[in-house]
Chains A and B, each alone.
Chain A
Amino acid sequence: MMLLQMDVAFIIEKLILITIILFGSLGIAMYATWGERKVAAIMQDRKGPSRAGPFGLLQPLADGVKLFMKEEIIPDSSTRFLFILGPCLAMLTALLTSAVVPWGPDFQLAGRTVSLQVADINIGILFIFGVLSVGVYGVMLGGWASNNKFSLLSSIRAASQAISYELAMGLSLIAVIMMTGTLSLREIVAQQHGFWDGGFTWIAFRQPIGFLVFLICTFAELNRAPFDLAEAESELNMGFHQEYSSMKLGFYLFAEYINLFVSSVILSTLFFGGYNFPFMDAVQGAVPEWLFVIICVMVLLTKAVGFILFFMFVRWTLPRFRYDQLMKLGWKTLIPIALINMVITGIVVLARMK
């Protein structure tokens, strides 16, 4: 009976956490679209959305409602089932990656230890890679099922770009795993406690080359400029979602922004200490526990927003790559760099252990 009660409490706790995370990331993704338009407008000396509400803050809601109310069109020559499955899969994978991220430290609530991580599995990084790979199917199915030459070309581009950069991404993380000795994101964050313990604890400062390679690969995985070849308007009209309308189009666009947010969180978690911040031990002693947890979550979200802004600045600054340049960078530059970085990391870490 005791076990059953614990189980019910456990399930309720996790359900609340999952709901908060899913709707939180949806909300942040919605406002990331607003942020992107504002950032673009400011960088191009325009006003951006300014009519709906103060500073155009209601614009994302208006866009969402508009997408809901539009007519869905499924072209005659498309493959109906796959046409619907494509955006669903894209959205599903975008919503799943956040499951292994530790959002804050554990705390006590009503005699229970509550963890701000949905699932603490010891293969967290591999889980992220797995879900990421399934995400390629969403794009691929959508583009192929449309039976449109431009969509097909775009989805093939997107898929081969994503898998090419996944290699360099995986290789760049190996050096990080050598230093931490674990695949669990919770452990990796715990090892980056604070900011300074006689040396930097954040991995970005101890592993800068790995961080740079990972960052570049994140741009490519997200299909963002300067790697947005899947959506090269000048060559492909719109991209793999050209035939889509209504909320199916909305799913693709939203999934992109949710991925942007989750990737920023994962970048902060892996390389910038997650919810850790300088002088956190002093702060922990000075404030009550609930406040400390809130500060930690806010710190993580601030880092994530910083990365999102960085992604936006880059998008509106740099021109697009050509496809052969993209493939050359991924295969012939990043993979060798990541491999050499891995070997050097191994030598340095082993030499220091002696």
Chain B
Amino acid sequence: MIAPSFRRCGLLLGVLALVLPLTAAAQSLPGIGRIKVATGRVSLIRSGQTVVPVVGDVVYESDVLHTDADGQLAVTLRDETRLSLGPGSDLNLAAFAYDPAAGRLSLVVRVARGILSYVSGRIAKLMPDAVRLETPTSVIGVRGTHALIRVQP
């Protein structure tokens, strides 16, 4: 069932784990979540570059998600937070940190306009104060679990 090469690999990882602290034993993912729904005209702005996101694409901290009047997007973040965006929306994944072992937890989402559904994940469970949903006029703190927000700028 297990190839000998994997056994050697496991041994190597084991040796590494002896040397490194527990948190460093985690293989961190490159992104903070994945696109689960992308329909109609949608775009994603990353470091000034605009791309068209498709289902399965990885999202990163500071990404801005945009939907046109016929567009919809949904994302599941690494801590199991679920964000869904209706048509005519702009959302910035402003800050994300999920490292429970190191106590680093943070989620800041900014909605400039449009319609957002937020379903909380592990960050809100572990440290509710670490989660902030921001609009141009309000800051929304989350005690769990499901918020619906319409922003008319």
Query: Is the pairing of A and B real?
Result: no
Contact residues of B with A, CB < 8 Å? none
